[in-house]
Structure 1
Amino acid sequence: MAAPNSKATFKEYIKRALGAPVVEINIDDDQLDDRVDEALQYFREFHYDGSIKCYLKHQLTQAEVDSFKTNETHTAATTGTQAIANQSYGEGKNYITLPEHVLSVINIFPFHSGTQSNMFDIQYQLRLNDLWDLTSTSVLYYHQVQSHLALLNQMLVGQIPIRYNMHSNRLYIDYNAEKLAKDEYIIIECYRKIDPNDMTDVYNDMWLKKYATAKVKYQWGENLSKFQGIQLPGGVTLDSERMKTEALEEITKLEEESRLNYEMPVMDMMG
C-alpha cells in the first residue's frame, strides 16, 4: 500500500495496523477522528518535526496603534476566602493577534533598523567616515566596533519585552506606544505548527503512525469494555482490559520517547 498522505488514508492505515479488514475494528468514525486529532496535536506541540521556525511580517494598522494606548477593564469576582467582588483593574491592550498556528514567540526584531537611520546616527557616521574605502579598512576593527555598539545598545536600551500564550494568540509588546507608527513593520521570530494539509508527508512520520495507532487501540478497548468477561460463541472471551493496558503502555512509551529524543529545547521556544 502507498504511504498515507491525507487524513483519510492515515485513518485507513491505522485500521489496517490494528487488523482490518481481517478483524472488525469496533470504533466510530468520529472517535477515530478525535484520536487522530489528539495525536496530531501532541505531535505538533512536542515533536520537533511537528513545528517549524519562521519569521512573520506584520504591518501595524492605525487601529492597533490606537489600541496600544488604551486599557481593557477586568472586573474581579469573589474567589476563595477573599472578598474581591466588584473590584476592577485595567490591563494595557498593547498586543497584536497572531494566527492560531503560532506555538511560541522567540523574539521580535527592532522597530528601527540601522540601515534606515538618518545622517546624525552613529551607524551612519561610522559607515561614512570609517568605511569609505573597504580595501584599507580592517574587518577585525569593524567587527570590534559593531560588537561594542551592540553591547552598549543592550545595556542602555535592551530588548523589547514580549509575552505570548498560544491559547490567547496575543503577542504583548511592552513598548512605548508613543513611538509606534502606522504602517510600521514588525518581524516576529516564532515557531508555528506544521499544517498536514499542506505538508502531507507528516502523515507518514514513523513516530506519529505508531502513536496514533496506540491512541485508536485504546479507544477500541474502551468501547469493548462493556463486554468484558462475556463469552462469545465458540468459547472466545473478550479481554478489553488487556487491550487497554497494552495500548496505554505503548502510549506512555512513545510519549517518553518523544520528550527525550524528539522534543525541542523548551527555553529556546519560550517568549
Structure 2
Amino acid sequence: MVSYAKFSIKDRSKLKKYIIMKLGGPIITAEITDEQLDFCIDEALEVYSKWVHYDMDYFLLNVKDVIPITKENPNGNYDPDKGYKLPENIVAVSNIHEADYYWFQNQGTTAEFMFYNSGMFPTFNNTCYYGNGVFLDVYLAQNYLKQCQQMFGYKYNFNFNERSKFIKLDPDPQKRRQGKDCIILEVHTIREEDELLGEDYVKRLSVALAKQMVGQVRKKFGSGVSLPGGGQVDTEIYQEGKDEYDAIMEELKAYEPPFMFFLQQ
C-alpha cells in the first residue's frame, strides 16, 4: 500500500521514470540524458536536505577506545587536533550527556547522594527517611550540580564541524585520567537516500530542474522551429521549470515541522 508514510519511489530508477513521465514521456521524447537526470536528482537532494528539518537521534560515542587517524590508517576515528570523527549522516550536535545511569554519585556520604535518593526513590525514602525530598528539590539540585560540573571542568564543552564531521571535546578525554568511557550525543541526522527520493519536495524539485535542463537544450534550436509532422520546439518549458523551482523554494524557506511536545532533561 502506497501512502504519505510509505513511498512508492525508493530508488533512482523509479524517480527517473517519474521525471520522464512528468516531461510528457513516453509519448513525447524529452531531450535529457540519464547523467543529466542524476544531476537533477543530486541537486534536489542537496536543496531539500539544506532547508527541511532534520531527524533527531542519539549517538553513543566511545571516547576512550579510539583508532587514531594516520597516513597508514586514514579511516580512523580520532585526530588529536580535530577530535572525533562522526558518521556522515550527522549534520549537527545539540547536546552531550555522559553515558552513566547513576548521574549522581553513589557514595553515601556525599551531598549528591542525598539529592539522588530524594528524587529517584521517593516512595522508599518516604518510608525510611520520614518523607524527606520532593522532585522540585532534586530538579533544582540537579541544575546546580550540572552548572558546577560545567564550571569546574567535569563536563565537556564541544565544537562540531558539520563539513569535516569532527567533534572537538574540551577537555580532551584522551588526556583525562578520570571520566566515562562513553558519552551520548544528541544529534540531527539526514536520512538515507532511499528514504528521501519519494519525498514530495524532492520529486517536485527534480522535475523543475529537469524542465530547466530540457529548456536549455531546446533554446539552442530557437523558438518556432518546425519539426517533422508539423510540431514545433517548445522553449517555454525552461521558464515553466524556473517558476516551479522558485515557488518550491519559497515553500521550503517557510516550511515549519509539525509541533511536537517534548520534555527537557
* TM-score category (smaller protein): 0.7 to 0.9
User: What are the Cα deviations for residues 13-68 of structure 1, in whole angstroms up to 9, with x where unaligned?
Assistant: 111111111110110101101111111122122112xx31111111124556x88x
The amino acid across from 1:133 in the alignment is N
Q: CA deviation at 1:236?
A: 4.2
The one of 101, 124, 139 equivalent to 2:89 is 101
Whether the aligned pair in 2 keeps the contact of 1:100 and 1:166 (CA below 8 Å) is no
Please give the secondary structure, in 2, of the residue aligned with 1:190: strand
- Gap regions ≥5 residues in structure 1: 68-90, 265-271
Is residue 2:116 matched to residue 1:124? no
- Corresponding residue for residue 33 of structure 1: 38
Residues in 2 aligned to 1:102 and 1:253: alpha-carbon distance in whole angstroms: 29
Q: CA deviation at 1:183?
A: 7.8
The amino acid across from 1:137 in the alignment is N
- Gap regions ≥5 residues in structure 2: 3-7, 70-78, 259-265
Please give the secondary structure, in 2, of the residue aligned with 1:228: coil
Whether the aligned pair in 2 keeps the contact of 1:104 and 1:192 (CA below 8 Å) is yes
- Sequence identity percentage: 21
Q: Which has the higher helix share?
A: 1
- Corresponding residue for residue 58 of structure 1: 61
Residues in 1 aligned to 2:160 and 2:132: alpha-carbon distance in whole angstroms: 43
CA 255–187 in structure 1, closer or farther in 2 if over 3 Å, else same: same
Residues in 2 aligned to 1:10 and 1:107: alpha-carbon distance in whole angstroms: 36
Task: Calculate the aligned-residue CA RMSD, in Å.
Answer: 3.3
Residues in 2 aligned to 1:17 and 1:181: alpha-carbon distance in whole angstroms: 61
- Corresponding residue for residue 191 of structure 2: 194
Q: CA deviation at 1:254?
A: 0.4
User: What are the Cα deviations for residues 187-218 of structure 1, in whole angstroms up to 9, with x where unaligned?
Assistant: 11111111133x3xx33322222111101111
Whether the aligned pair in 2 keeps the contact of 1:46 and 1:263 (CA below 8 Å) is no
Q: CA deviation at 1:251?
A: 0.8
CA 129–208 in structure 1, closer or farther in 2 if over 3 Å, else same: closer
Whether the aligned pair in 1 keeps the contact of 2:104 and 2:112 (CA below 8 Å) is no
- Corresponding residue for residue 267 of structure 1: none
Q: CA deviation at 1:165?
A: 2.3
Is residue 2:248 matched to residue 1:254? yes
Please give the secondary structure, in 2, of the residue aligned with 1:53: strand
Is residue 2:203 matched to residue 1:184? no
Residues in 2 aligned to 1:263 and 1:142: alpha-carbon distance in whole angstroms: 33
- Corresponding residue for residue 269 of structure 1: none
Please give the secondary structure, in 2, of the residue aligned with 1:173: strand
Is residue 2:150 matched to residue 1:161? no
Q: CA deviation at 1:169?
A: 1.4
- Corresponding residue for residue 201 of structure 2: 207
Residues in 2 aligned to 1:41 and 1:224: alpha-carbon distance in whole angstroms: 26
Q: TM-score with structure 2 length normalisation? A: 0.73
